[in-house]
Amino acid sequence: MTGRACLSPDSSASANVVVELAYPEQTPVATCHWRWVANVLALRGHPGYWERLGLAWGVRWTGGDVLFGSMTWPDVLARATGIAVAIRTFPTAQDAWRAECALAARGTPLIVELDGFHLPGPAAPVDFYPGLDAAASGLPTDHVVKAVLVMWRGRGTVRVFDGLRAVDLTIGDYEQARSAPCHGRAEPFKLYALMRGPRRQVSPERLLDLVRQHLRSSHTDSQGALAAYTRRVEKTDRRIDVCRVAGERYQAARLFEYLADEGVSEARVPASLFAELTDAWYMLHVLAMHESAAQPRQRRRLVRLLEQLADKESTVAEAVLA
156-177 confidence digits (pLDDT tens):
999 999 888 899 999 999 999 9
Q: Is residue 155 part of a domain?
A: yes
Q: How far apart are CA 35 and CA 32, in angstroms?
A: 5
Place 213 in a pLDDT band, splitting at 50, 70 and 90. Answer: very high
> Domain check: are 191 and 99 in the same one?
yes
The per-residue pLDDT for 284 is 96
Domain boundary among 196, 216, 248: 196
Q: Indicate whether 134 belongs to any domain.
A: yes
Task: For Cα atoms 59, 63, 69, give the angle at the middle one, nearest 5 degrees.
Answer: 20
Asked if 222 and 313 touch (Cβ cutoff 8 Å), the reply is: yes
Q: Are residues 232 and 185 in the same domain?
A: no
Q: Would residue 166 count as lying in a domain? A: yes
Same domain, 208 and 188: no
Last residue of a domain, one of 166, 196, 226: 196
User: Which CATH number is 161's domain given?
Assistant: 3.90.70
* Per-residue exposure over 140-163, b if at least 16 CB sit within 10 Å of its own CB, e if not: ebeebbbbbbbbbbbebbbbbbbb
Q: For the chain, what is the mean pLDDT? A: 90
Of 89, 72, 88, nearest in space to 221 by CA = 72
What mean pLDDT comes out for the span 203-216?
98
Residues 181 and 247 placed together within one structural domain of the fold: no
User: Is 88 part of any domain?
Assistant: yes
DSSP string, 188-257: TT-EEEEEE-------HHHHHHHHHHHHHHHHHHHHHHHHHHHHHHHH-----B-HHHHHHHHHHHHHHH
> pLDDT tens digits, residue range 37-56?
999 999 999 999 999 999 99
* 51 lies in the same domain as 168: yes
Residues 7 and 155 sit within 8 Å (Cβ to Cβ): yes
- Domain limits at 243? 204-321
pLDDT band, very low/low/confident/very high, at 141 (cuts 50, 70, 90): low
Q: Is the pTM of this model over 0.75?
A: yes
Q: Is the same domain home to 210 and 285?
A: yes
Burial classification of residue 39, based on how many CB atoms lie within 10 Å of its CB (0-12 exposed, 13-18 middle, 19 or more buried): buried
pLDDT in tens, 227-280: 999 999 999 999 999 999 999 999 999 999 999 999 999 999 999 999 999 999
Among the three residues 196, 227, 250, which one is the final residue of a domain in this structure? Answer: 196
Sign of CA dihedral 215, 217, 218, 220: positive
Residues 216 and 114 in one domain: no
Spatial distance between the Cα atoms of 227 and 211, rounded to a whole number of angstroms: 23
Q: Is 130 domain-assigned? A: yes
Same domain, 276 and 303: yes
Same domain, 225 and 302: yes
Q: Which of 315, 316, 310 is nearest to 271 (CA)?
A: 316
* pLDDT in the model for residue 130: 63
127 shares its domain with 211: no
Residue 25 lies in a domain: no
- Per DSSP, the residues of 28-54 read -TT-HHHHHHHHHHHHTT----GGG--
One domain, residues 216 and 181: no
| 221 in the same domain as 133 | no
Does residue 89 form part of some domain? yes
**What is the layout of strands, in order, in the sheet containing 145-153?**
84-88, 191-196, 110-115, 145-153, 157-161, 166-170
Residue 190 lies in a domain: yes
User: For the chain, what is the radius of gyration of the CA atoms?
Assistant: 20
Three-class SS of residue 121?
Answer: coil
Give the chain's domain count. Answer: 2
* Residue 284 buriedness (CB in 10 A; 0-12 / 13-18 / 19+): buried
